[in-house]
Amino acid sequence: MNIRGGKRKGAGRPKGSNLYGEPTQPVRIPKSQIERVLRFVQEREYALPLYASGVSAGFPSPADDYLEGALDLNAHLVREPTATFFVRARGESMIDAGIHDGDLLVVDRSVEATDGKVVIVSVNGELTVKRLRRDKGKSWLLPENPDYPPIALNEEDETHLWGVVTNVIHPL
Amino acid sequence: MNIRGGKRKGAGRPKGSNLYGEPTQPVRIPKSQIERVLRFVQEREYALPLYASGVSAGFPSPADDYLEGALDLNAHLVREPTATFFVRARGESMIDAGIHDGDLLVVDRSVEATDGKVVIVSVNGELTVKRLRRDKGKSWLLPENPDYPPIALNEEDETHLWGVVTNVIHPL
DNA sequence: TTTTTTGATTATTGTAACAATTATCAAAAA
DNA sequence: TTTTTGATAATTGTTACAATAATCAAAAAA
């Protein structure tokens, strides 16, 4: 009986050499959701294929030629869940910014509301979407529709800035 | 020592009286993700607040007055993960449908491509977005931009219908 | 009688524990 | 120098267990 290896420092399977690089712990999951959860842990549950349009593909596998990768909407559109919320747009005042009545806006509180950003603001109790213009210490809320007038923000207005619109989701 | 209850049918905690209404099973989860997974199992990980714009709010809690509920983008935009994919739009040919260069399109294979739907098609090796028009047995692909010409689909064209665009995601 | 308390019973739950597996090292063999 | 082998220790899927929770019906109280 030969002696190989031996009890020594550095022997054995290294710590963190598992799938996740960190210790795991058993957690009870409802049986029907186990597969879904395992995909989720590996961030694949909603990682769906993304293709590029406007490009030409050859053969034999055209689909692969268009493929750009995989994308998860939540991961892509929601940088920080605690700083993100949605607003349902109403009216046509921002039509030229591509915001239609009924569209869903993704809003990020953690983005700084600088000049030119499209923002969600409550003005005198009403929640609205407008483009923010800041110039020489004054602020305006600009609609993107010639039929609507710009709004100058005065000291006496009860305004509160909610966040910056990062994406517009438009149902067809 | 009194006898209460007794061994009998119907005694004891009922099956399915747990949080999920079904049996659970321990699954190993990396420690740092346990909280995230538990939220996910209850479908709350990305359930973010949705507010309504264009409405007036009172006091003392204006935010609650705007609140419409909670929304998860994946659940809202992806009806069936296996039938859904994304396409990156290129060009301005669908500008009047609200599709800009660089927009992300959510595409559903399981939606029937009827007359009037915006579809993803590969025509002679190129992947494009157009509105489908079907009339009297003929099919056209219509751009939504007066600068672009309609495309008649002929028998000899190598066309393949990929799916129907359900949503346009436009970054600002 | 009606309501509340109590004990019996069984499902659920979080975690410890186990055997099987896997990854690694270094000595031995080729 | 390269390959094989045995020792070692982390990992993994699952089982097992004690503590907890939910329910029923008898007993006690009102």
Same domain? B162 vs B108:
yes
pLDDT digits (tens, 9 = 90+) for A38-47: 988 887 777 7
* Mean pLDDT along residues A72-88: 88
Same domain, residue pair A126 and A85: yes
Query: How would DSSP label each residue in B105-125?
Result: EEEETTS---TT-EEEEEETT
Confidence of residue B169 (pLDDT cuts 50, 70, 90): very high
Whether residue A55 has pLDDT greater than 60: no
Q: B172 vs A97: CB contact, 8 Å cut-off?
A: yes
pLDDT at site B10: 72
Q: The domain that contains B141 carries what CATH number? A: 2.10.109.10
The minimum CA-CA distance between B80 and chain A, rounded to whole Å, is 10
Residue B15 domain-assigned? no
B10 touches strand C (CB under 7 A): no
Of B residues 20-59, those with CB within 7 angstroms of nucleic strand C are 20, 23-24, 26
The pLDDT-based confidence of B2 (bands split at 50, 70, 90) is very low
More confident: B63 or B141: B141
Same domain, A146 and A65: no
pLDDT for res A58: 47
Task: Tell me the residue range of the domain where A70 lies.
Answer: 31-76
Considering the domain boundaries, does residue B94 fall inside one? yes
Rg (CA), chain A: 26
Lowest-confidence pick of A23-27, A39-43, A82-86, B144-148:
A39-43
CB contact under 8 A, B50 and A88: yes
Supply the pLDDT for residue A60. 45
Can A7 be counted among the known catalytic residues? no
B83 falls within a domain = yes
Residue B107's pLDDT is 94
Same domain, B35 and B102: no
3 state SS for chain A: CCCCCCCCCCCCCCCCCCCCCCCEEEEEEEHHHHHHHHHHHCCCCCCEEEEECCCECCCCCHHHHHEEEEECHHHHHCCCHHHEEEEECCCCCCHHHCCCCCCEEEEECCCCCCCCCEEEEEECCEEEEEEEEEECCEEEEECCCCCCCCEEECCCCCEEEEEEEEEEEEEC
Encode pLDDT of B66-121 as tens digits.
788 888 888 889 888 888 999 999 988 899 999 999 999 999 999 999 999 999 99
User: Which of A21, A43, A76 is the last residue in one of the domains?
Assistant: A76
